[in-house]
């Protein structure tokens, strides 16, 4: 299917690896010029070269003050007006509610909520001026069903979901859609860290920890990056102009919420 977005520019925050990279790759295949961001410049430059279609990598740690703004300024200067924004970053540390200091809560808010809000604030005016904008936030199935030992993710991602649900209804009449894609248990970097932590905690091998997680999914397997990228790219397409404020789980049936 032609996504109808060839020639547009997308910024994919935290886009050099994993799920967001798969989204970036499907956008590039649709003719979009993609600007990737991440902390590790070697991996990022390699990812941009592999995407092709003029893709750029901009190094920057989204947890550091001012980085969202400087990445956006450089992306606009080098690639032109941005009409597609995919927000992503590494997930917060695992642990129970009482495990985290208030500073750790604040850091999670900064990386997993405020970076997405800041990027959206910066890019919305240009999207509205173009009469076309697509914002896709990578959140988590945990917004439908809080997951054990994930107090920070359960909380902070719910906050972002509320903010984006509000914005979605404020800008749809200007051609800008706002949606969230919710990964389940996907065999990419974030879950690798969860598997390692679980294996260490329970004294089992990483293979056993991964198998136990896979068995907890109705699909009986972990998700792949390529299960995720196509729907993320579709939400950025011209065909998705009447879809907004949605939370679309890509989770093999994991979250059992009715809606």
- Minimal distance in Å, beta carbon 51 to ligand NAP? 13
Nearer to ligand NAP, 91 or 118 (CB): 91
Within 10 Å of residue 6's Cβ, how many Cβ atoms? 11
Element (H, E) at 34: strand 33-38
Give the torsion through C-alpha atoms of 137, 20, 176, 35, to 10 deg.
130
Q: 83 near 130, Cβ under 8 Å? A: yes
Nearer to ligand NAP, 122 or 171 (CB): 122
- Minimal distance in Å, beta carbon 175 to ligand NAP? 27
Where do contacts with ligand NAP occur on this chain (CB under 6 A)?
14-20, 37-40, 43, 61-63, 88-91, 111, 138, 140, 183, 185-186, 188-191
First to last CA, the chain: 28
Nearer to ligand NAP, 108 or 178 (CB): 108
Q: 140 near 206, Cβ under 8 Å? A: no
Quote the crossing angle between the two packed helices 225-235 and 18-29, to the nearest 10°.
50
- Minimal distance in Å, beta carbon 114 to ligand NAP? 12
- Minimal distance in Å, beta carbon 2 to ligand NAP? 27
Nearer to ligand NAP, 137 or 171 (CB): 137
Nearer to ligand NAP, 189 or 245 (CB): 189
Largest CA distance in the chain: 56
- Minimal distance in Å, beta carbon 5 to ligand NAP? 22
């Amino acid at each position: 299917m032609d996504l109808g977005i060839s020639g547009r520019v997308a910024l994919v925050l935290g886009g050099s690896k994993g799920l967001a990279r798969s989204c970036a790759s499907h956008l590039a295949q649709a003719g979009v010029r993609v600007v990737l961001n991440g902390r590790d410049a070697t991996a990022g430059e390699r990812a941009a070269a592999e995407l092709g279609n003029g893709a750029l990598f901009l190094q920057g740690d989204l947890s550091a003050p001012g980085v969202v703004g400087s990445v956006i300024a450089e992306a606009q200067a080098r690639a032109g007006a941005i009409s597609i924004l995919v927000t992503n970053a590494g997930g917060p540390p695992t642990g129970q509610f009482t495990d985290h200091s208030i500073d750790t809560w604040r850091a999670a808010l900064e990386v997993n909520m405020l970076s997405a809000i800041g990027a959206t604030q910066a890019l919305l005016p240009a999207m509205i001026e173009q009469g076309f904008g697509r914002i896709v936030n990578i959140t988590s199935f945990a917004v439908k069903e809080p997951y054990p030992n994930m107090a920070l993710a359960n909380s902070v991602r719910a906050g972002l979901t509320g903010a984006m649900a509000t914005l979605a209804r404020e800008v749809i009449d200007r051609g800008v859609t706002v949606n969230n894609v919710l990964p389940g248990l996907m065999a990419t970097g974030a879950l690798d860290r969860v598997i390692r932590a679980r294996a260490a905690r329970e004294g089992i091998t990483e293979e056993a920890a991964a198998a136990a997680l896979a068995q907890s999914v109705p699909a009986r397997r972990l998700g792949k990056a390529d299960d995720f990228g196509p729907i993320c790219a579709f939400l950025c397409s011209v065909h998705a102009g009447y879809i907004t404020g949605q939370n679309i789980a890509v989770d093999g049936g994991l979250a059992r919420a009715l809606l």
